[in-house]
Structure 1
Amino acid sequence: MNPTIRQRRLAAELERLREAAGFAREEIAERLDWHATKVWRVESARSGVTTGDLRDLLDLYDVHGPRREALIALARQARQKGWWTEYRDVFTGSYNDLEVQASVIRNFEPLLIPGLLQTEAYARAVIRAAPVVDPQEVKRRTEARMARQQLLTPEGGEPKLWIVIDEAVVRRPVGGVDTMREQLQRLIDLRDQPNITIQVIRNSAGAHPGLTGPFVILDFPSSDFFAPVIYLELAPDGMYLEETEQVMRYTLMFDHLRAIALGPAQSIKLLNVIKEGLRDDE
């Protein structure tokens, strides 16, 4: 099984701590009476690390206090299986592993309702639109997308979710009138959820930086181990940007997009107007 993002982050941090303490891998193996390759395997995320072994390493690296406890907690989390492991046939790459750890998710979408907010009927219509999709695959992918939304429940951690979408997204008739009415009502109902903000950019805003495509900014509660990540949804597994300059560029872009968008209350009013304007003959 491929190592999770948490395993890789922990491995990278352990390597950095060893180097900062001035130890060679061979020296650590000798001091702890480990096999010669064990340190390499832990630091390359080829092997997990037990809590006992981790404590021994942190003792050697003289790591104590909150930082020590944070690393031990990270190691425990790295051994936990995420909900998405049940859908390995649907979800590829590392995005879900990152998303479930995020404390803030900022998402710009110019084409579709973001997956975290899609109704089942809307999601099914989007998935069916792909070329040559087997009915069983449509069912499986729809189930997976709905399971992903548990992230927004108290059990899932309820990260702060800030969505900016183009007006064209909510005017595009995906799945028919009934599907769009239900989807728009879902967005409207979310106005009372304190961790979710939705803004709409009017078509009259014209050209804007977001026309280059959708993107997600993921921020994490522990900046020591998890720097912000930009996710660009490109086939097959997406692209991740982590350089400080890249993160700053997309953060500025998102700030610009939310500045030109309608405010949250005005956006909900627009969604109501669009929903009420839907006609059965469309």
Structure 2
Amino acid sequence: MSEDGPGPNVRRRQLGRELRKLREKADMTLKEAAKFAGLTSTTISRIEGGKQTILTRNVRLLCQCYEVGASMLDTLIRLAEESNERGWWTDFSDSLPDWFESFVGLESDAEEVWRYSPNFIDGLLQTPEYAAAFLELVPKATEKIIKQQVDFRRARQDRVNREDSPTKLRVVLDEAALRRTVGGVDAMRDQIGHLVELAERPNITIQVVPFDAGAYLGMQSPFHLLRFAEGFDDMDAVYLENQRGAIWMERPTDIKYYIRLFERMTEVALAPDETADFMDSLASSL
């Protein structure tokens, strides 16, 4: 969680969660609440899931529907106003897809960020040179767009993986991500050296699954797991990204599955100190 308190995306989820509880306490269905407020059931569902901007007038309507007292109404109105504040990432909105903006807003508020990356170095760990080489592959990518994206990745890194960050970052990489040369040999050597330096930070744990570990559970696809502080832990989510969008998985059974999966991967991977030695040796051999 940010030192300044939860960001707007987390506030939005808090508000949605409270509105859902109030609707259920009032023993009303989505359809009944939507009819009263003059909204659609889909809109109410998205509001409760923190998936869209929550206007203060809609909060007032829903609170009237649920017969909420003045004190609670004031609290929810304030939460709605805070949830619509600009996040730091909006400075880069022109070059970001909507579905990724939502992820970044939550990522910088998470207490723990767990990542599994089998084929390339995770964005939070990339050097500018590695990131630029990767981004050059995007069709119609201009120098301006590439620079914006590199600056954006560095801004994410400044918030999540700096030494004094309150966020704990755990990353499992497959050896393939380290063996695949991106940006040339020099850039790759610097990238691996950067990983070795990052692994020394107290809030960052990096482990590599070596080729000789053979096949292992979950190796076919990357995933991101966001875990929040106590009181916000029902906002834990798994984020699965693809070429055209992303999927959020938030059911408790899904969260538990991916937590177990990640832990299994850490057991197959080299220990953190062994990983550091492995990466140092690999960088020296390039």
TM tier relative to shorter chain = 0.7 to 0.9
Q: 1:236 to 1:138 in 2, by over 3 A?
A: same
Contact 1:216 1:230 in 2 (8 A): yes
Distance 1:213 1:89 in 2: 28
The Cα of 1:210 is off from its aligned counterpart by 2.8
**Residue 221 (structure 2) pairs with residue 213 (structure 1):** yes
Q: How does 1:80-95 map to 2 (within 5 A)?
A: 80-92=85-97, 93=99, 94-95=102-103
Name segments (4+ residues, structure 1) moved above 4 Å: 21-25, 35-38, 40-43, 60-65, 71-77, 153-157, 222-225
Structure 1 residue aligned with 2:20: 15
Structure 1 residue aligned with 2:3: none
Aligned pair partner of 1:227 in 206, 221, 235: 235
**Residue 152 (structure 2) pairs with residue 144 (structure 1):** yes
Structure 1 residue aligned with 2:270: 262
**Residue 248 (structure 2) pairs with residue 243 (structure 1):** no
Identical-residue share of aligned pairs (%):
32
AA partner of residue 172 (structure 2): V
Distance 1:269 1:229 in 2: 32
The Cα of 1:272 is off from its aligned counterpart by 0.5
Structure 2 residue aligned with 1:121: 129
**Residue 168 (structure 2) pairs with residue 160 (structure 1):** yes
Cα deviation code 1:2-61 (max 9, x no counterpart): x94632441242232243155899xx9xxxxxx9659x98983654349x97xx98xx65
The Cα of 1:225 is off from its aligned counterpart by 6.7
Contact 1:214 1:232 in 2 (8 A): yes
AA partner of residue 111 (structure 2): S
Contact 1:90 1:144 in 2 (8 A): no
Q: How does 1:51-200 map to 2 (within 5 A)?
A: 61=68, 75=80, 77-92=82-97, 93=99, 94-152=102-160, 157-200=165-208
Q: 1:143 to 1:237 in 2, by over 3 A?
A: same
Q: 1:84 to 1:156 in 2, by over 3 A?
A: farther
The Cα of 1:89 is off from its aligned counterpart by 2.2
Structure 2 residue aligned with 1:32: none
Q: Which moved more, 1:152-161 or 1:189-198?
A: 152-161
Structure 2 residue aligned with 1:31: none
Distance 2:230 2:197 in 1: 31
**Residue 14 (structure 2) pairs with residue 6 (structure 1):** no
Which has the larger Rg? Answer: 1
Contact 1:9 1:225 in 2 (8 A): no
AA partner of residue 89 (structure 1): D
Structure 2 residue aligned with 1:48: 55
Distance 2:146 2:38 in 1: 45
When normalised by structure 1's length, the TM-score is 0.78
Distance 2:68 2:134 in 1: 51
* Unmatched 5+ stretches in structure 1: 29-34
Cα deviation code 1:66-122 (max 9, x no counterpart): xx98x7885564233211111112222121122122111110000111101101000
* Unmatched 5+ stretches in structure 2: 1-7
SS at 2:218 equivalent: helix
Number of aligned positions between the proteins? 263
Q: CA RMSD in A?
A: 3.7
Distance 1:225 1:205 in 2: 33
Contact 2:110 2:228 in 1 (8 A): yes
Distance 2:232 2:78 in 1: 13
Q: 1:36 to 1:188 in 2, by over 3 A?
A: closer
